[in-house]
Each structure stands twice: as C-alpha cells, then as structure tokens.
Amino acid sequence: MSPLWADQISIFLGPDRLLVGHRPRGLRPGLMTTTTVPVSGSSEGSAGWEPAAAALEAHLAANPQWRGASLRIILSNHFVRYVLVPWSNDLSNEKEHLVLARRHFAVTHGPVAKNWAIRMSLDRPGESHVASALDESLMSRLTLAAAASHTKLVSVEPLLMASFNRWQQDFREEAQWFVTVENGMLCGALLGRNRWVALRRWRTQGDWVSELSLWLSREQLIGEESAAAGALYLLAPSRAGTDSMAMGLPVRFLGERERNSTRKRTADVRPQVVEEASHFTCIL
C-alpha cells in the first residue's frame, strides 16, 4: 500500500498509559481520533519500559484493521536520556560524532550506557547538538511489535525532540526555556537563536508547578545564560495551578488551539482523559 493511502497511527508510550491517535487515510480520510490505554504496573525486576511495551503489543494485536498502517511512536522522557554534545571540528563523520556522544553518556550514566541505542541530529554544523539514548532492548521490542502487527514503523521519537520539532517556529525570543510536562517528569531545554544552550531532565513528586518554579530560580542564580531567557514555553497536560506560577518570566502554553478543539470533540469524556488526549494531539 502506498504511504499516501495508509492509515496513520501515532502512539505516545508512557509509563502509566498509551495515548493512541488514529488518522484514517485512503478514499475517505478522516479526523484523528484519540484513545487512552492504561498500562499495568511493572513487575519486580523488570525494566521500567516493559509494561508499556507489553501494552503496546497487546493494543496493536487487538486492532488487526491497522494492518498496513504507518506507525509513529513517541517515547516518554521517562524512557530516554539526553546529553548536549559540543561540536568538534576534529570529527569528520557521523560515526565519530556518535562515538563522542556515547562517551558523554558513559561519563554521566556509567557502564549501563553501553547497551543504549543513540541517535542525534547534525543539521547545524558548528553548534552543540542533542543526542538521545534509549535501551537497545526497548528499540528491539518496538520493531518486533510493528512487525507482528504488520504495521510500518516509520519513526521512534523522544518526546522532547518531537515536541521541539513541532513547536520550534513559535520560539521567538533570543533565549527561552522550553519544558515538557509529564506525570512525574519534567524535561527542559534552554534555547538560543538556532542553538541549544542547556538540557535538563528531572523527576517530580506531583506538584510540578512549584518544583519547576524553584528549579528555574536556581538556574537563574547559577546559570549566566539562563538569566537572559525571555519566556518559558510549556507543553503541559493541564493548566491547573498555573495562576500562581511565580516563574519570574512570561509563561506561554503551547497547543492551545489543538487543546480547545479536542475538548469540543470529546465533551462526553472524563476531563482527565480529555486533557491527556489534547496534550498528545498537540505533538502530532
């Protein structure tokens, strides 16, 4: 089947839920519909991503009508590690840049990094670039799940990078923070004009608004470049509590139009599910 005719399946893979988007194509293309699929708790001794991978396999198997569809998977920042790798004129090809990135991961995370699949983009020579890493076993499970369901795996993207690619045209300041919000996880980047300045990833205990405010305050004290940030761009599943967000700089929420559209189409769905679905819709 031609890719132009194949249905499109986009799945956000999180530790506690899958967010599934299905966009029909072919002779009668339609709007994307979204579904929330719960993920059962992890078993003792299992990798953190295994329950989510099992839920993905089960959901694909339960939908044989998706055979031949293109499949895009977006990985939660819970399952991905990032490093910002300085540019080196001494490196001549992508393989050498990957070796350098692996060294950076090894310094930060130790021997476990040797089993990680690493990806990066070198589209801006001369500037630091983002390298992302995930467990090689997770990548294998995703590939096998697609093959077993007869779907075509077209991309596996970390949430931070998928969100950045979707919204980078909205970043208008000379410098700004861009932060993605998940249950139990914040991941942020300090962005300059066409360059990455810093990367941060940290776990939260529930009140992400207060934790982000405190964290940004510390960054402004210890980071010279972060003090010049002109705005904070947030990709968040809910705006609850943000009226009291004392961030010290303007806060701008991404995806408002898509979020409102999703609410209108899902008025009969529980509010929490609507928020989750709209958050997912924003990064398609």
Show Cβ contacts of residue 64 under 8 Å, excluding neighbours closer than 6 positions.
Answer: 149
> What pLDDT, on a 0 to 100 scale, did the predictor assign at position 210?
85
Asked if residue 230 and residue 183 are part of one domain, the reply reads yes
In a domain, 55, yes or no: no
Asked if residue 124 and residue 193 are part of one domain, the reply reads no
In a domain, 107, yes or no: yes
Taking residue 276's Cβ as centre, other Cβ atoms within 10 Å add up to 22
Q: Which domain holds residue 117?
A: 81-133
Number of domains the chain is built from: 2
In a domain, 62, yes or no: no
Q: What is the mean pLDDT of residues 62-82?
A: 96
**How sure is the predictor about 246, in pLDDT bands with cuts at 50, 70 and 90?**
low
Q: Are 22 and 60 in contact (CB under 8 A)?
A: no
Better pLDDT: 192 or 272: 192
In a domain, 46, yes or no: no
In a domain, 140, yes or no: no
In a domain, 219, yes or no: yes
pLDDT at 42 over 70: no
In a domain, 139, yes or no: no
Q: pLDDT tens across 51-63, in order?
A: 999 999 999 999 9
Residues 202 and 233: their CA atoms lie apart, in Å, by 17
Asked if residue 175 and residue 126 are part of one domain, the reply reads no
> What pLDDT, on a 0 to 100 scale, did the predictor assign at position 265?
46
Residue type, position 82, single letter: Y
Taking residue 100's Cβ as centre, other Cβ atoms within 10 Å add up to 17
Please give the mean pLDDT across all residues of the chain.
85
pLDDT at 136 over 80: yes
pLDDT at 3 over 60: no
Q: pLDDT tens across 153-183, in order?
A: 999 999 999 999 999 998 988 899 999 999 8
Tell me, what DSSP letter sits at residue 54? Answer: H
Asked if residue 177 and residue 119 are part of one domain, the reply reads no
Asked if residue 177 and residue 118 are part of one domain, the reply reads no
Residue type, position 94, single letter: E
Better pLDDT: 210 or 239: 210
Better pLDDT: 281 or 199: 199
Asked if residue 183 and residue 248 are part of one domain, the reply reads yes
Q: Are 233 and 170 in contact (CB under 8 A)?
A: yes
> What pLDDT, on a 0 to 100 scale, did the predictor assign at position 260?
56
In a domain, 127, yes or no: yes
Q: 113: which 2 tokens?
A: 């990094």
pLDDT at 276 over 70: no
Tell me, what DSSP letter sits at residue 222? Answer: H
Q: What is the domain-level CATH number for residue 217?
A: 3.30.420.40
